[in-house]
Structure 1
Amino acid sequence: MINQSQWSTIRALVAWLDAENGRSEHEITLRLLKLAEEVGEVTQARIGMTGQNPRKGVTHTAGDVADELVDVMVTAAVALVSLDVDDPAALVAAKLGKIAARVGVQPEPPVKIAALDPRAVEQAVQRLVVQAANWPRGGVR
């Protein structure tokens, strides 16, 4: 869901917010309320995607809805880290595991990343460079 590098970025965002606004009880409450704002933006985008408001018509795309959903995820992660949870990644993994078990879904086992062979990486990059050089101008169609 959120990898370690992304959790590091979330922690950096929290540190930035802390430096700008402090981390008082009031500030934490505002970070939690920010979730409601972001969920409202998801709703607005979905309504705009379906054209439900005849006065406005279709104003958003599925991509807009997805983008707003990611904002909700990031805002929730920032709020979670702001609560000084010991291990937010473990908390998310445990909760996801409980939900999956409740509905009978087997979670994917963690992917173990083996040490990369630098020569294999260089060869893969070279193949990508060659492929990119052969792409038609204006992008892939």
Structure 2
Amino acid sequence: MEPLIRLTREPLDRDALVAAVSHPSAGGIVVFEGVVRDNARGKQVRYLEYDAYEEMAIAQIRTIIQEAQQRWGVDRVAVAHRFGRLEIGEASVIIVVASPHRAEAFDACRYIIDTLKTTVPIWKKEVATNGEEWVEG
């Protein structure tokens, strides 16, 4: 299955992503959902703003998924990331991995989110009650 990769300003639909990778041969489906929280590094966060170099981000996410597929043998993966303004409680990223066995799905999902956060050109600005700043991840 070709991986599903979405970068969007619209709210993310977890159920649609799970449905996209579900298959009768999948015995394990792992979902990671990153959600905007109300605090960071001792600051009260009001909202986040994400920006992305979309073409490069999609290409790099595709490469990360291919690496996960080679390492863990998973072939059903969906990755969706929002950009623009996100309010507290909204999902900024959802990763879904389906595989015959849970261990591979967990390992691949963790690898995808950890690698995405450190290598993909998606930037996050925290807008807090005492100012704003661009931060890693």
Shorter chain as denominator, the TM-score bin is under 0.3
Of Structure 1 and Structure 2, the greater strand share is in: 2
Of Structure 1 and Structure 2, the greater helix share is in: 1
Larger Rg: 1
After TM superposition, the score normalised by the length of structure 2 is 0.25
